[in-house]
Amino acid sequence: MPDTFFDAHQRATVEAAMARIIPTDDTPGAREAGCIDFLERYLSGLGYIFAKPDGSGFETLEGRSAEAWMRRVTIMRQTYRSGIEELDARARAMDGVDFIALPPERQDAVLRAIETSGGDDAPSAPADQPALQQTSTEVELPFLPLLVTHTRQGFYADPIYGGNRNQAGWKTIGFPGPASLAEVHAGRYTTLPYFADGEAEKVKEFHDGL
């Protein structure tokens, strides 16, 4: 199964937009962290949905689970196709070139126009809340909130999912992270000390109730 979804233009466009959401400064940004690779894998099909607990690869989805996830991926693919078309259409209307050809400040202007437009007004991901509070219903998000969500996930998720290259996202925030998922699932590593106030207790209560 190929681990890419976008064509070259689509990939460059989305990568550029991600680089404006988490820009490069004195620390790595979305481009250096490989957020586009995380997204490419996610949209490529069913091969990179759930990592195996031992960190050796990914679960094989079958039956109704596979069908449900494929519907979800298909919807997100269409959201990205439409969103990339909108980025280019707005860029051409503003400056006569595709989004990727704009300087960073003009790319910001295009993204800001989409953010403030009435056409992208479905519920958005809550950017001011801990990651656990992000919506799990990605298929309901319009293009820009979906892109922001996936940029954040590509920056901070376990590197096995294709992003967070060289643990760039974790290093940026001073999070050491586990050596592999196997460390987490074996109980040798826990992320609870890094949860926001009150969230660790909720997770403990959830697992105690299982």
Q: Which pTM does this prediction carry?
A: 0.84
Instruction: Name residue, tokens 């925030």.
Output: 173
Instruction: Name residue, tokens 């096995």.
Output: 160
- The answer, yes or no, to whether residue 183 has pLDDT greater than 60, is yes
Residue 3 pLDDT level (bands cut at 50, 70, 90): confident
Maximal CA-CA distance, the chain: 58
Q: How much is the pLDDT for 118? A: 60
Ranked by mean pLDDT, which of 19-28, 44-53, 129-138, 181-190 comes out on top? 19-28
The pLDDT tens digits for 196-210 are: 888 777 776 766 665
- The answer, yes or no, to whether residue 106 has pLDDT greater than 50, is yes
The pLDDT tens digits for 70-88 are: 999 999 999 999 999 999 9
* One-letter amino acid of 16: A
C-beta of residue 134 within 8 angstroms of C-beta of residue 47: no
- The answer, yes or no, to whether residue 107 has pLDDT greater than 70, is yes
